[in-house]
Amino acid sequence: MSARIIPASVKHVEVIAPRMREADKDEVFAAVGRGPASALLHSLRCSDLAYTVEYDGRPELMFGCGTTNMIANVGAPWALGTDAIDDHPTHFLRGSLFWVREVRKRYASLLNVVDDRNEASKRWLEWLGFTLSEPQPYGYEQRPFRIFEMKA
């Protein structure tokens, strides 16, 4: 297996969106009422940093971070991908630790939300060192979401 991280592009959306993980699809629809392609395009356009993870030359994950508060220097990290992430857990976990360390150099704090149904993402976020709030109704479907945050 070869893996590489490259700058994200609209072309990657076309490959990832039709195969996006069910949990990611459910989360973006519940939060903002968008389908996979629309959510990826929106995230890409709103990001200061956006990358794609390729496994064996095929885009499998897009991730990034965008500024949500310039005065307080708050970034909103995001990651949306396919089930191939589960096939390469060591690469994914090591890469995500490195990425969070790098992003923290740019922002005073990181803040976003995660669908409370998304158990794997909640475990991953806590493993990375984020603090998760209690669930509260949020977004398009007003489902329970948790704020995840990491302060400098």
Mean pLDDT of the chain: 96
Per-residue pLDDT of the chain (152 residues; tens, 9 = 90+): 899 999 999 999 999 999 999 999 999 999 999 999 999 999 999 999 999 999 999 999 999 999 999 999 999 999 999 999 999 899 899 999 999 999 999 999 999 999 999 999 999 999 999 999 999 999 999 999 999 999 97
- Nearest 5°: phi and psi at 133? -80, 175
Alpha carbon distance 26, 70 (integer Å): 29
CATH number for the domain formed by residue range(s) 3-111? 3.40.630.30
What are the beta bridge partners of residue 54? 4, 59
3-state secondary structure of 73: coil
3-state secondary structure of 131: strand
pTM of this prediction?
0.94
Domain ranges of the chain: 3-111
